Amino acid sequence: MSAPIRLAVIGMGKIAHDQHLPAIAADPDFQLVATVSRHGGPVDDLPFFPNIEALIESGLAVDAVALCTPPQVRRAIAATALAQGWHVFLEKPPGATLAEVVTLEEAARATGASLFASWHSRYAKGVEPARAWLADRRIDSATVTWREDVRVWHPGQEWIWAAGGFGVFDPGINALSIVTRILPRPFFLTEAALDVPSNRQAPIAARLQFRDTAGVAIAADFDFRQEGPQHWDIVVETDRGPLRLADGGATLTLPDGSVPTAAEGLHGEYPGLYARFAAVIRAGTSDVDVAPLRHVADAFLLGHRNLVEPFVE
């Protein structure tokens, strides 16, 4: 496929408008041909549909779709798109359950379409230089602090508090997507504590303890109740001193104080995602890494639940 990939965006919420549409507009590999949403209206006078079934019935020529819906409804939409032979971009998290994602991966193989489970934080500009620097270092420990104000970043998004909505793991999975990328060895959960508001189904905070296959400790602190300065930080202690990733992976500081950057082509999380999606489609392959989702699933399996005060927005 050498012509622009004709793309429809499904689920026109804040992330679609703020991140997806600008990245698509700047990428010559893609041509936005339609938007699909239960709410809102058309973008730039392009065709607009209330659901994927109406898009299919229209007969509009589409090669791929980007799904920006809440995870609870994403599997059915993705399966419908794959049945059309359309390539599918899944916003993070790629599904509400691991089984859903495995089923979609099998469907993509059966239809020959490409499936891309995107992890936007892996495309922050400090992540790949951090991975390269850590590859031949002795790692002694890692600490993740991901604390943000849910009222600022997810105002009015009731789905995030429902079963399958992930709660604080919606941002926390971004941290896990980085850590699973930069650390050289696999790691696994040993204990977890989840703070769940008494009027909600999903946690508002979580404290996690991991060990890697060499016994190195990794600790994570996720909290949706942060006021004032927000924290999206990862510190990896090594035999050469601490490596620090701040601002959600955007700022890397090495022990000597230097601040290396990624290659120019990797700058920008969503431009990087769309460049990767185009490459996957052109190659006729899929890119589906469930490691971050697996750690979240393990936290729900193993975690001790603490009921805390109700959350009222």
CA–CA dist 6, 119 (Å, integer): 22
Contact (CB, 8 A) for 113 and 141: no
Residue of 6, 74, 92, 147 with catalytic role:
92
CB 204, CB 196: distance < 8 Å: yes
Taken in order 206, 154, 273, 50, the sign of the CA dihedral is: positive
Distance separating alpha carbons of residues 126 and 182, to the nearest angstrom: 10
3-state secondary structure of 286: coil
- Evaluate the omega torsion of the peptide bond into residue 155 and state whether it is cis, within 30 degrees of 0: no
Asked if residue 43 lies in contact with residue 30, where contact means CB atoms within 8 angstroms, the answer is no
CA distances from 26 to 19, 23, 54, 92, 263 (A): 11, 5, 27, 21, 18
Catalogue the long-range contacts made by 261-265 (C-beta closer than 8 Å, 24 or more residues apart).
261/125, 261/126, 261/129, 262/125, 262/126, 262/127, 262/128, 262/129, 263/128
Burial class, 149, CB count within 10 angstroms (exposed 0-12 / middle 13-18 / buried 19+): middle
Polymer length of the chain? 313
125: annotated active-site residue: no
Identity of the amino acid at 126: G
Active-site residues, by number, are 92
